């Protein structure tokens, strides 16, 4: 399977990987292009009493995430029962229909239609989520899994960044903005469907599975399945915490840029760029740091970096002097802001190093017949953790805490959560100690067969 390629980038030239990662990239980009353009329209043009500008982003985000809670369990069953390439084509065809309706909503400036399409795109992403992560172990071997996940993670964050930038720029075009967004969303959806045609067959692991259409009982069953392996279940919780942690920062970037850093809208975009680039670099580094194995010893290192740089971000930003709103060039020119930017990049880089091995571990250790349903359980937990994160951050801000103070709390709570995970699953810390010992103290270099990914080995 591996074909002897030197690193993960060689996968981008292979049919078993390239069309699939392109479909994922286009889907994530279109989600964010559409959502951000609608947010801009709701903020600056629609003037709705039932969705004021201050709540537009929150409402749109909540409607998008609702299908993950309601339909992830069903999506996991479908991905275990049917060929994943076939499912990808069905989902991309659904995206075309949703974006056609959204185009009509943009042209008519109809917020109800657009909100319905936000729900539809949330459903589209819900259906594709288990396909995305259950596809990789069917086509990549153990030595390719970390690199493949790193590319998917990097591509997702780059797509989020480009989608947000494109949505904002297109909607800002005088008079023609809504029509340009409508054409762009439909065009990206059609391109995604075309690329999905090249995704190779991925036979169903359990074609005789009887679908349980009750989302509540199936969700509970999926969570019970995931708990059969304690390491897998606690990895699900660890990934969900990472999404909750990241959501604290991403949701606060506009207000952080304006009220704390005294920057304009361009500075808020710069923060998003720095965060996305950091996650992408961290995700890509995982293959090199793990020497092309699923190495969960990287997880404690990533968790430590997330806490250290979140706490340092508080000290870098909490006492900046007040000033008039500055453009991005003036912001970057001030040395006081370099530490803030470095903290954001390094925090995001650590999050990338933290998450990729966990995803690879879940894919590797989950039974093939239940893998998509366990990933669906992960998506449900992600959604619930992100909702709890938004409520928690809102409560802290409502209690009078500053935005840097919220970041400080996130860093401290991350250290406590990571400590609890590593206490109950010491395998993470033991692998981390072995990794540091072999790389820094003994400079261990293995010739011939590599050490096993799990279990004991005697090295002489």
pLDDT tens, residue by residue, 340-358: 999 999 999 999 888 888 8
pLDDT tens, residue by residue, 363-379: 888 887 778 888 888 88
Q: Are residues 120 and 269 in the same domain?
A: no
Q: Are residues 155 and 301 in the same domain?
A: no
**Is 208 among the domain residues?**
no
Nearest to 256 by CA among 243, 269, 244: 269
Is the pLDDT at 103 greater than 50? The verdict is: yes
Q: Are residues 283 and 161 in the same domain?
A: no
Give the count of alpha carbons within 13 A of 421, CB side only.
27
- Mean model confidence pLDDT for the chain: 85
174-200 mean pLDDT: 94
**Is 256 among the domain residues?**
yes
**Is 455 among the domain residues?**
no
Sheet strands (E) in 289-361? none
Residues 6+ apart with CB under 8 A from 384: 69, 240
279 close to 153: Cβ distance less than 8 angstroms: yes
**Is 205 among the domain residues?**
no
Q: Are residues 219 and 192 in the same domain?
A: no
Q: How confident is the model at residue 2 (pLDDT cuts 50, 70, 90)?
A: very low
Provide long-range contacts, Cβ within 8 A and 24+ apart, for 176-182: 177/37, 178/41, 178/106, 178/107, 178/109, 179/106, 179/107, 181/33, 181/34, 181/37, 181/106, 182/102, 182/103, 182/104, 182/106, 182/107
Final residue in a domain of this structure, among 134, 166, 200: 200
pLDDT tens, residue by residue, 221-268: 877 877 887 878 888 888 899 889 988 888 787 778 888 888 877 787
**Is 368 among the domain residues?**
yes
431 close to 296: Cβ distance less than 8 angstroms: yes
Q: What per-residue confidence (pLDDT) applies to 428?
A: 78
Q: How confident is the model at residue 445 (pLDDT cuts 50, 70, 90)?
A: low
Q: How confident is the model at residue 454 (pLDDT cuts 50, 70, 90)?
A: low
Token pair 């002097």 in the structure block, residue: 321
Tokens of 76: 């996991």
Residue 220 structural domain: 215-442
Q: Are residues 170 and 225 in the same domain?
A: no
Q: Are residues 322 and 390 in the same domain?
A: yes
**Is 114 among the domain residues?**
yes
275-301 mean pLDDT: 81
Give the separation between CA 139 and CA 349, rounded to whole angstroms. 27
Any idea what the CATH number is for the domain that residue 82 is in?
Answer: 1.20.1250.20
Give the separation between CA 350 and CA 356, rounded to whole angstroms. 10
Q: How confident is the model at residue 117 (pLDDT cuts 50, 70, 90)?
A: very high
Q: Are residues 40 and 142 in the same domain?
A: yes
Nearest to 295 by CA among 117, 94, 457, 452: 452
Q: How confident is the model at residue 446 (pLDDT cuts 50, 70, 90)?
A: low
Q: Are residues 261 and 343 in the same domain?
A: yes
Final residue in a domain of this structure, among 200, 232, 264: 200
Provide the number of structural domains found in the chain: 2
Q: Count of CB atoms within 10 A of residue 74's CB?
A: 21
As a whole-number percent, the residues of the chain with pLDDT over 70 amount to 93
Q: Are residues 325 and 290 in the same domain?
A: yes
DSSP 456: -
Q: Are residues 149 and 289 in the same domain?
A: no
Give the separation between CA 84 and CA 283, rounded to whole angstroms. 24
Q: Are residues 330 and 192 in the same domain?
A: no
Q: How confident is the model at residue 1 (pLDDT cuts 50, 70, 90)?
A: very low
Final residue in a domain of this structure, among 176, 200, 224: 200
Is the pLDDT at 292 greater than 70? The verdict is: no
Q: What per-residue confidence (pLDDT) applies to 96?
A: 97
Q: How confident is the model at residue 338 (pLDDT cuts 50, 70, 90)?
A: very high
**Is 5 among the domain residues?**
no
Round the CA-based radius of gyration of the chain to a whole number and report it. Answer: 22
Is the pLDDT at 413 greater than 90? The verdict is: yes
Q: Are residues 260 and 115 in the same domain?
A: no
Is the pLDDT at 444 greater than 80? The verdict is: no
**Is 276 among the domain residues?**
yes
Lowest mean pLDDT of 53-57, 98-102, 439-443, name the range.
439-443
Is the pLDDT at 291 greater than 80? The verdict is: no
């Amino acid at each position: 399977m591996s074909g002897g390629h030197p690193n993960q980038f060689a996968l981008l030239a292979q049919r078993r990987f390239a069309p699939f990662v392109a479909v994922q990239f286009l889907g994530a980009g279109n989600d964010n292009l559409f959502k951000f353009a609608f947010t801009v329209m709701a903020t600056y043009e629609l003037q709705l009493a039932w969705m004021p500008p201050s709540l537009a982003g929150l409402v749109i985000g909540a409607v998008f995430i609702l299908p993950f809670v309601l339909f992830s369990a069903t999506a996991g069953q479908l991905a275990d029962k049917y060929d994943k390439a076939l499912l990808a084509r069905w989902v991309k065809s659904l995206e075309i229909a949703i974006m056609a309706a959204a185009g009509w909503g943009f042209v008519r400036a109809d917020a109800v239609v657009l909100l319905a399409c936000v729900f539809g795109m949330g459903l589209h992403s819900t259906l594709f989520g288990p396909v995305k992560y259950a596809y990789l172990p069917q086509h990549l071997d153990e030595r390719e899994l970390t690199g493949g996940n790193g590319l998917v993670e990097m591509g997702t964050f780059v797509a989020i960044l480009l989608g947000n930038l494109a949505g904002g720029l297109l909607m800002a075009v005088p008079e023609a903005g809504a029509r340009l967004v409508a054409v762009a969303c439909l065009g990206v959806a059609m391109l995604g469907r075309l690329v999905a045609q090249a995704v190779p067959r991925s036979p169903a692991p359990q074609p005789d599975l009887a679908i349980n259409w009750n989302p509540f009982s199936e969700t509970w069953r999926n969570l019970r399945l995931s708990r059969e392996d304690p390491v897998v279940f606690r990895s699900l919780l660890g990934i969900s915490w990472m999404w909750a942690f990241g959501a604290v920062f991403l949701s606060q970037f506009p207000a952080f840029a304006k009220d704390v850093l005294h920057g304009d809208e361009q500075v808020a975009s710069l923060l998003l760029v720095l965060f996305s680039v950091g996650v992408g670099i961290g995700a890509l580094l995982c293959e090199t740091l793990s020497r092309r194995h699923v190495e969960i010893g990287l997880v404690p290192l990533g968790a430590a970096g997330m806490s250290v740089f979140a706490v340092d971000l508080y000290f870098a930003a909490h006492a900046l002097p007040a000033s008039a709103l500055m453009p991005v060039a003036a912001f970057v020119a001030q040395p006081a802001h370099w530490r803030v930017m470095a903290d954001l990049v390094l925090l995001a880089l650590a999050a990338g190093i933290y998450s990729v091995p966990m995803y690879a571990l879940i894919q590797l250790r989950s039974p093939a017949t239940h893998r998509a349903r366990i990933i669906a359980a992960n998506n449900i937990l992600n959604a619930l953790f992100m909702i709890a994160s938004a409520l928690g951050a809102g409560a802290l801000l409502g209690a009078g805490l500053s935005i840097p103070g919220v970041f400080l709390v996130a860093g401290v709570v991350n250290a406590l959560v990571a400590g609890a995970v590593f206490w109950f699953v010491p395998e993470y810390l033991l692998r981390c100690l072995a990794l540091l010992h072999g790389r820094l103290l003994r400079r261990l270099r293995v010739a011939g067969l590599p050490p096993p990914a799990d279990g004991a080995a005697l090295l002489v």
